[in-house]
C-alpha cells in the first residue's frame, strides 16, 4: 500500500531519513510529527485551552481525555504565526529517525476504532441533549443566545476525542501504529473556534 505521509519535503539528504518526534497520546495511537516543526516542549500540568508562548496565545489541542492529568505542552510551528498550535499530553515525547520507505499506510486498529466510535456516540448524545435544551428556551432567551448557537455549531464540526476524521492518517512503523495529524486543518479549526 502506497503511503501518503505528507512530510516528504522534510527528508534529510542522509539516506532518505526523516527526523520525527513521537508524542504520547491516550485512547489513540501516539502522534508522529516532523521534529523540525517543534518550537518548544515545556512542562505544564494545568489543562488549558490557550497557552501563552513568547507573548503569543497559542490554541491547545489535547491528546488525553479531559479527566486525565497532563504534564507536557508541545508548541508547533504553523503556516502563519496565528496558526501555531500546542499539543497537551502526559509523558515525554521522543525523537527517532525513520526511513520513508518504512512508513506504511494502515487502518486505525480495532481497539482505537471502538474508542473513537464510543466517543463519537457520546458527542452525538451531548449534541442531542443540547438541541433539546435549546428548543425549550423562549424566543427572548434564544435571541440573547444567538452567539452561543454559532459556537455550538462550530464546536460540532471538531472534536478532539474523535480521531476517525479526515484530519488523521494512520501509519505503521515497525508494526507500531501512529497517527499523522493534518496540523494545518487542526490549527485552522482551533483558530476559527477561538475567534
Residue 147 lies in a domain: no
Would residue 54 count as lying in a domain?
yes
Question: Which tens digits make up the pLDDT trace of 85-100?
Answer: 999 999 999 999 999 8
pLDDT tens for 122-148 read 554 555 554 444 443 434 333 344 334
Secondary structure in 3-state letters for the chain? CCCCCHHHHHCCCCCCEEEEEEECCCCCCEEEEEHHHEEEEEECCCCCCEEEECCEEEEEEECCCCCCCCCEEEEECCCCHHHCEEEEECCCCEEEEEEHHHCEECCCCHHHHHHHHHHHHHHHHHHHHHHHHHHCCCHHHHHHCHHHHHHHHHHHHCCCCCCCCCCEEEEEECCEEEEEECHHHHHHHHHHHHC
The C-alpha atoms of residue 11 and residue 22 are separated, in whole angstroms, by: 16
d(CA 79, CA 180): 17
Q: List beta partners, residue 170.
A: 179
Structural domain for 179, as ranges? 6-108+162-194
Does residue 187 fall inside a structural domain? Answer: yes
pLDDT band at 156 (very low <50, low <70, confident <90, very high): very low
In a domain, 70, yes or no: yes
On whether residue 1 sits in a domain, the answer given is no
pTM: 0.73
How would residue 68 be classed by pLDDT, with cut points 50, 70 and 90? very high
Would residue 87 count as lying in a domain?
yes
Look at the chain and report how many structural domains it folds into.
1
- Domain presence at residue 122: no
* In a domain? residue 157: no
Amino acid at each position: 500500500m502506497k503511503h501518503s505521509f505528507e512530510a516528504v519535503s522534510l527528508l534529510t539528504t542522509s539516506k532518505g531519513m526523516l527526523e520525527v518526534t513521537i508524542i504520547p497520546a491516550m485512547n489513540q495511537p501516539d502522534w508522529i510529527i516532523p521534529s523540525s516543526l517543534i518550537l518548544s516542549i515545556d512542562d505544564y500540568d494545568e489543562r488549558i485551552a490557550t497557552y501563552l508562548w513568547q507573548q503569543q496565545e497559542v490554541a491547545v489541542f489535547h491528546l488525553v481525555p479531559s479527566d486525565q492529568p497532563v504534564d507536557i505542552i508541545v508548541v508547533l510551528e504553523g503556516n502563519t504565526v496565528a496558526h501555531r498550535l500546542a499539543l497537551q499530553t502526559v509523558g515525554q515525547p521522543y525523537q527517532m529517525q525513520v526511513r520513508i520507505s518504512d512508513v506504511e499506510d494502515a487502518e486505525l486498529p480495532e481497539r482505537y476504532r471502538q474508542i473513537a466510535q464510543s466517543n463519537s456516540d457520546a458527542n452525538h448524545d451531548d449534541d442531542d441533549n443540547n438541541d433539546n435544551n435549546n428548543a425549550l428556551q423562549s424566543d427572548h432567551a434564544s435571541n440573547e443566545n444567538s452567539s452561543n448557537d454559532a459556537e455550538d455549531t462550530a464546536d460540532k464540526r471538531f472534536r478532539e476525542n474523535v480521531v476517525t476524521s479526515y484530519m488523521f492518517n494512520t501509519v505503521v512503523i515497525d508494526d507500531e501504529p501512529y497517527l499523522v495529524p493534518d496540523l494545518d486543518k487542526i490549527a485552522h479549526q482551533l483558530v476559527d473556534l477561538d475567534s
